[in-house]
Amino acid sequence: MHRLDYELKTLCRRFGGGSFGTRNKRVTTLLTCASDLRSAGFADMKARSLKTEHVHRLVRMWLARGLSTNTIKNYVSQLRWWACTIQRPFLIPPTNQELGIPRRALTPIHSKAKVLKPEWLQNIPCERMRTSLRLQQEFGLRREESLKFRPDYAIQGDHIRLQGSWTKGGKPRTIPALKTRQSELLDTCRALARSGSMIPPDLCYVRHLNRFCRVCLSAGIRNMHGLRHGYAQRRYHELAGFESPLAGGPKRCGLSRHERLLDWLARKTVSRELGHERIEVTTTYLGI
């Protein structure tokens, strides 16, 4: 193993936070960065050898390779973590534009919202897996959150709470549970998991995740993230009183002053319930 790879893995093990998925992606991304640095001629680097020139060189390589803006920004965010962990955050410019990364286009044309079809669920033999998919649809949970969901911790009467170790970036959050179908789903979760999670007690997360992905693909279920899009659009309609642009509603430029306020409040709530910090991200789910 290369020295840089070893030291980066050690940093991730000692200082890594967030869920299993977040930590795993961090290691994978940083090892990719280390490999690209070696191919660029920086063969004898250590973790503390990171410099601004290395970051600029990597970004130029990724742009020339044709990587998407989203991918490059995700890579740079891990480089920022690396720089902060070695106590040198000043190595990386504060904005992505200073690195030559173009702005990400956040205005989708078509809705990605999905609703679970009965035939999809009928093709999934495991009730825990079916319930995890329903959690994604009814509460807008990410896949990892729906698998690690622990009813005894999460269910809090009129809302559910998500533990940081389940969520992206390790950020805990709460989501309202006010509908009858949500309450019935939570009752099903209680009956299945009891004091555990939606992962069978004889399996670890990784093994259950791999099995979950295979079963969903064989059942014809792809792009499960669309269930979160569906939740976002339904929740927006409940809060604003009219459909979002991607669901066939009016665009923001055509809203009255009062409707703009309702739109902003609804987007702020939807963003928080989905686990995002920036209200601008709701454009991906709702349109503009």
Q: What is the pLDDT of residues 187-200, one digit of tens each?
A: 999 999 988 999 99
How large is the average pLDDT for residues 220-241? 94
Instruction: Give residue 104's pLDDT.
Output: 67
In Å, how far are 15, 51, 222, 233 from 230, measured between CA atoms?
35, 43, 14, 5
How large is the average pLDDT for residues 95-119? 84
Quick one: pLDDT band at residue 82, thresholds 50, 70, 90?
very high
Q: Which residues contact 217 (CB under 8 A, 6 or more apart)?
A: none
Could you tell me the pTM of the whole model? 0.72
Q: What is the pLDDT of residues 41-75, one digit of tens each?
A: 998 899 999 999 999 999 999 999 988 888 899 99
Element containing residue 187 per DSSP (H, E):
helix 180-193
Q: What is the pLDDT of residues 4-25, one digit of tens each?
A: 999 999 999 888 777 777 888 8
Distance of alpha carbon 136 from alpha carbon 286, whole angstroms: 17
Instruction: Give residue 105's pLDDT.
Output: 61
The encoded tokens of residue 192 equal: 């299945």
- Of 54, 36, 56, 65, nearest to 99 by C-alpha is 56
- Of 35, 50, 107, 123, nearest to 81 by C-alpha is 50
Residue 98 has pLDDT above 70, yes or no: yes
Instruction: Give residue 168's pLDDT.
Output: 85
Q: What CATH number does the domain located at 127-219 have?
A: 3.90.15
How large is the average pLDDT for residues 133-148? 96
Q: Which residues contact 253 (CB under 8 A, 6 or more apart)?
A: none
Mean pLDDT score of the chain: 92
How large is the average pLDDT for residues 211-240? 93
Residue 106 has pLDDT above 60, yes or no: no
Q: How far is CA 47 from the centre of its chain?
A: 27
Instruction: Give residue 15's pLDDT.
Output: 85
Q: pLDDT exceeding 90 applies to what percent of the chain?
A: 75
Phi, psi of 226 (to 5 degrees): -60, -20
How large is the average pLDDT for residues 254-265? 96
